[in-house]
Each structure stands twice: as C-alpha cells, then as structure tokens.
Amino acid sequence: MLCKCWYDCSWKQISRTNSNDTFDNWNNTYHRWNNYSLIISQKYWKKEKRHMNTPFKFIKKKLADELPSELLNIVPDKWEKIGEVLVLKLDDKLSDYKKIIGETYANFLNCKTVLNDIGGITGILRKPDVEIIYGNSDTVTVHKENNVRYRLDPQKVMFSSGNMDERKRMSRISKPDEVVVDMFAGIGYFTLPIAVHSKPKKIYACEKNPISFDFLRENIVLNNVVDIVEPLPGDNRKIAPKGVADRAIMGYIGDTQRFLPTAFRCLKDIGVIHFHDKYPEKQVPKNPLETIKKEAEKYNLKTKMLNYRKVKSFAPGINHYVFDLKVEKK
C-alpha cells in the first residue's frame, strides 16, 4: 500500500530523487493520500528506512528478471520527475535495454514518458539534449511546486529541480510595492513563484528563447498573474526596462558578470540584485564580490553583500551560488 502511494505521486514532490535519502526528504511533511493527511516523523523514518522498500528497490527487483546482473548495478538510483515526465541518465552500457528500463521506471513512478539525458543542458538558450526511451511522444506537462504551475516541454526547455529551494526562497522575497526585473525568466522559474506568493506591483520577465517565452506567456495565464507579470521577448540587454526596478534577478550560469551593466541599468537609485553563477568553493565569496564591486564602480555605484548561498553542486568542488547585493548610487 505504501508503494501505491508513491506511484500516485500524492506525496510531497521532491526534486532530484535519491532513493537512499527519499525518506529524509519526505520527513515531517504532510502527505495527502485518499483524502487523509499524516505526519511522518523524522525519527520514525530514520529508524525504519533500512527495512522499507523504496521505489528504487521495486524497480531494481523488477529489472532483475530482464537485465544481466552486472548491468543491474548501474541502473540509475536518481531521477528527475518533471510533471509526468521522467528524466533518467543511462550509462551507455544499458543501451540495449533502454526500452524495458524506461517502461519499468514509468510504471513504478507513474510517468507518461521517460527521457534519457544524453548531453545535459547546453548553450545560451539552455536546451536539453535528451531522447525518448519510453512512452508518449507528447512530452508537454505541468509541473506543480509550491502552489505554482509550470507548463513546459522537458524535451525542449530546461527545468532544474535542484533549484527548488531557491525558487521557494525567491517566492517570499519581494514586497507588494516593488518592481522586479527577471532578466533570465525562462518559463517563469522565479517570476511565477514571486508573482504568486509575494504579489509585487510589477515583474518584467525577459526571455530570449522563443520556445521558453511561449511557455512563459502560457504560465502567466495558468497562474493568474497576468496583472502582475509583463513578459518581454528578446535579449535583456536590449529589452530590459531602465531605472524602474527595486530588484533584478540574474538567474543565469556562465559568465553572468557580462550582464551586470544591464542589471545596474534596470535598477532605481537603490536596489537589490540576485547574482547567480558557478564558482570553485574556495573562491567564494571573495572573488565574485570583488568582480561585482569592480564592475559597479565603473558606473559610480557601491555594493553591499546582504547574503549569499549555495544553490546546488555543479561539479566536484564547484557550486552554483547566488549573491544578494544591495546596489546604491554613490
């Protein structure tokens, strides 16, 4: 019965699921199941998880009938579930068994399609490199998180489950009288939670990728935030409004500093920027802060760090960070 609950996905949605920490992630959360709610205490799961059958254990057991034992050990124990679409990263050695692997995960995790992540997310427009290994070729889906609905096609646009905590943090950060510029809005990763939960006066959401932009427009309607969010298609360096913002979000990784002049131009005399990029652990926060400060000085601005946090690991020793900075005219 417990597994049925997992298949229905009526439990708290978690991001990149690691079968071994599944129960820790679900701790102390309400799980709606047949209209009943229960709280599962941390202590209970910690004690019991050794004996429990996680979804991965069921999947592996089922695949044991289909795969040679040496391959069974390399089937992925992590996955990303985006709405009804599952994304796996399969070792090349599993290529002859892709279909049965996809079918098995789809059945146990209640997904309409299973994608194999071949080459990750690439390019300025952040396009996923994936192939369908099982199921419906229509991969458009609605991912629900924190009372926000994201309609997207995981075959065509990225969705980073690892950024869930940052999306939650941003959802409460803005104030009702604020104007926000989301410089890299995508399908509305930050724009939507801010609009839904903080309800600022206005959010200008800039997005360059036409496919992401179409989903962004749909998502603004889907989440009933048409009166708050104005989607702007194109390169933020050309289209972002000037001198209007109390807050600018720079949710981009890879040389984000190139876009600092645009962020500075968006702001009123005083404002906050949320600057994202990846850095080696040892350089943080010194190097990025120096870079931002130097750039700000060129525009006669001073900066003060309010906060910084690791968003997620990127590679060994390298993490994705976000820096919250107050920016003010000197």
Give the binding site for ligand SAM (CB under 6 A). Answer: 124-126, 160, 163, 184, 186, 189-190, 206-209, 212, 235-237, 251-253
Residue 15 or 104 having the CB closest to ligand SAM: 15
CB of residue 212 to ligand SAM, shortest distance in Å:
4
Residue 54 or 163 having the CB closest to ligand SAM: 163
Residue nearest ligand SAM by beta-carbon distance? 251
CB of residue 311 to ligand SAM, shortest distance in Å:
8
Please answer whether residues 126 and 155 qualify as being in contact, where contact means their C-beta atoms are separated by less than 8 angstroms. no
Residue 151 or 208 having the CB closest to ligand SAM: 208
Residue 17 or 212 having the CB closest to ligand SAM: 212
CB of residue 240 to ligand SAM, shortest distance in Å:
8
d(CA 119, CA 208): 22
Strand partners, 307: 324
d(CA 276, CA 169): 14
Residue 235 or 328 having the CB closest to ligand SAM: 235
CB of residue 128 to ligand SAM, shortest distance in Å:
11
Per residue in 193-222, is it b (16+ CB within 10 Å) or e — as a string? Answer: bbbbbbebebbbbbbbbeebbbbbbbbbeb
CB of residue 132 to ligand SAM, shortest distance in Å:
22
Residue 106 or 250 having the CB closest to ligand SAM: 250
CB of residue 157 to ligand SAM, shortest distance in Å:
7
Residue 68 or 119 having the CB closest to ligand SAM: 119
CB of residue 65 to ligand SAM, shortest distance in Å:
38
Per residue in 90-120, is it b (16+ CB within 10 Å) or e — as a string? Answer: beeebeebbebbbbbbbebbbbebbbbbeee
CA 114 → CA 85, 88, 89, 219, 257, distances in Å? Answer: 6, 7, 10, 23, 36
